[in-house]
Amino acid sequence: MKLPFRKYFVLLRQYLAPYRVYFFVLFFLVILDIGFALINPQIIRYYLDTFDFVEAGGLTTPAANKRLLEAAILYILLAALQQVFFIAAVYLTQLLAWGSTNQLRMDLAAHCVNLDMTFHNQHTPGKMIERIDGDVTTLSTFFSQFSMLIVTNLLLIIGILFVLFLEDWRIGLSFTVFCLSTLLILYKIWNYASPFWKKVRQSSADLMGYVEEAITGKEDAIANGATPYIMKRFHEYSKSEYDITMRAVLVSRMIHISIMGIVALGTTMVFATGIPLYQGEVISLGTVFLINQYVAALIDPMIRIVREAQQLTRADASIDRVTELFAIQTQIKDKGNFDFGEDKRLHLKFDNLAFSYSKTDPTVESITFHLKPGKKLGLIGRTGSGKTTISRLLFRLYDPTSGGIYFNNTNIKDYQLSDLRNSIAYVTQQVEIFQASVRDNITLFDKSLSDTKILNVIDALELHDWFEKLKEGLDTKLLSGEAGFSAGEAQLLALTRVFMKNPRLVILDEASSRLDPATEKLIEKAIDKLLENRTAIIIAHRLQTLEHVDDIMLLEDGKVREYGARLQLLKDPKSKYSQLLRTGIEEVLV
């Protein structure tokens, strides 16, 4: 197994850079811990040899007691000091682990948010949660400790072997061979264990993806009696993860058993080498104990190295998945250098536009129309005709296959992406409500927008009655989704949110449909205020909502079936629009 040191250190260098001071302080504390590990056994040897010397009659009792007391006090002081340093090291370790990985988590989230819709169509939210949060959590402790623990524990091993050589070259040589053999054996086990943890990470991502899918579709599943199927599939995913995890855990236990065997072998070697030397009066009783302490201290860093390397095998999959995610680039290139400036007017033009979600069947093709500043276009057509696709193309969630979209005679690709999207507002029937206050939901967490501006917008849209119903005004807490908020209230909040944005182009996806008459009237009044002097596209599900638009475009199978001024189409008995109105059809176009 080739350990992924290079790709690990690429991440380490980037995300630990802001914490380099803490990192070096932590390194210093760990070096001190190595010093304590080497000094404390020497103190205990001194204590035992002094006691042995007293028994042999080499010291008087008062002198011996003084030496023993001094050794005991020094040992206790060093042990207490070691614990203080240990607590400081733990604190710094957690600071490094969570500080660095939280930044990594935020960078991953921001990167994914900025990817185009092609990526998001292929990756479910559940899988993305596992990749962004689960993989980074796996890296958290490992991320800040791995390099430090590997280096410091290697230094500890070298230090112990050096001291053992100073005591007796035979002892030093024996345990050097012991260490090298142990590391070779453990390396072979790591090589076998690595693939199992990669499968565990992938299996966990698959399970999370399915859970998200099942929760999203719970209403349809319950209504159509699909609950047994959902539970069956959940059981299959869970069993798969369980089986894979159990195999990985069994391999890990092999490593643990190997370590216990090494501990037993090390202890046996101490007595096998130490007792004959003691009996031959080559070394003292305290030295035998010293060797035992050092061997115990020698095994401990090897166990730590094993655990960190084992953690590296687990984190290897996460590192791969994180770097792969960062390597994915959006197909929507933000290379524009134009901005809209202060002019709020917007002239919209589609020029022979075509787009396809797949490589075969076009979703829309040959779409050509233009909207002058302040004009409104009514967009109608059956489901799948391309209405939603047009709105997505305007936001550059996708780029056209051919043709182009122009704002004020400039291709939208030439505008800065943020400026483009800030100039467009999209109001749908499904309003996203965040678990936050009404204020934060209106401003989308933009702290620069004052309460005065929010209240002025509410006044401008004549939404006083709605606002007065909020128990705590702008501080009213909302739940995610639309829990505790009616569909009409959500629409009113969305309109306030859009008005705060002050867009140049407004896209309405039948925002007032399927509401009670009183709320619908209130929303329509607010929409009239919103659309005043603004270019707009209204995706209509009901023909009666198109009474105030200037132009009508009927889409059919991704093509323009009919396009023209509304009044002209209304007067033309051959137009599809006038025929639909005469037959009294209301909602057949959804």
| pLDDT tens profile 142-177 | 665 666 677 778 888 888 888 888 877 877 888 888
CA 300 vs CA 37, 294, 303: distances in Å: 11, 10, 5
Which amino acid is it at 219? E
- 490 close to 433: Cβ distance less than 8 angstroms: yes
- CA–chain centroid gap for 399, Å, is 26
Please identify every stretch of the chain with a pLDDT value under 50, giving residue numbers as ranges.
1, 588-590
Q: Which two tokens stand for residue 253?
A: 């236990």
Instruction: DSSP for 516-563, please give it.
Output: -HHHHHHHHHHHHHHHTTSEEEEE-SSGGGGTT-SEEEEEETTEEEEE
What's the confidence (pLDDT) of residue 588?
Answer: 45
Q: Do domains 5-327 and 333-422+549-590 have the same CATH topology?
A: no
Angle between the N-to-C axes of helices 135-167 and 285-327, in degrees from 0 to 180, rounded to the nearest 10: 150
Q: Which of 369, 375, 370 has the alpha carbon at shortest distance from 345? A: 375
Token representation of residue 73? 């006090």
Nearest alpha-carbon partner for 284 in 55, 446, 539:
55
Q: Is 339 helix (H, G, I), strand (E, B) or coil?
A: coil
Note whether 461 and 499 are within 8 A (CB).
yes
> What CATH number was assigned to the domain covering residues 5-327?
1.20.1560.10
Residues 6+ apart with CB under 8 A from 536: 375, 376, 377, 505, 506, 507, 508, 549
Domain ranges of the chain: 5-327, 333-422+549-590
The Cα-based distances of 273 to 52, 291, 332, 355, 559 in angstroms read: 20, 10, 70, 80, 89
Selection from 103, 195, 190, 182 nearest residue 144 by Cα: 103
What span, in angstroms and rounded, lies between the C-alpha atoms of 142 and 16?
12
Per-residue DSSP letter, 437: B
Using an 8 Å Cβ cutoff, are 466 and 486 in contact? no
Q: For the CA atoms of the chain, what is the radius of gyration? A: 36
CA atoms within 13 A on the CB side of 143: 30
Amino acid present at 325: L
pLDDT of residue 1: 47
Helix (H) or strand (E) holding 173: helix 169-216
- According to CATH, the topology of domain 333-422+549-590 is Rossmann fold (3.40.50)
Rounded CA gap, 351 and 367, in Å?
7
pLDDT tens figures, 90-123: 788 778 777 777 888 888 888 888 888 888 877 7
Phi, psi of 548 (to 5 degrees): -110, 10
The amino acid that residue 38 corresponds to is: L
Residue type at 177 in one-letter notation: V
DSSP string, 65-111: HHHHHHHHHHHHHHHHHHHHHHHHHHHHHHHHHHHHHHHHHHHHHHH
Rounded to whole angstroms, how far apart are CA atoms 389 and 392?
5
CA 328 to chain centre: 15
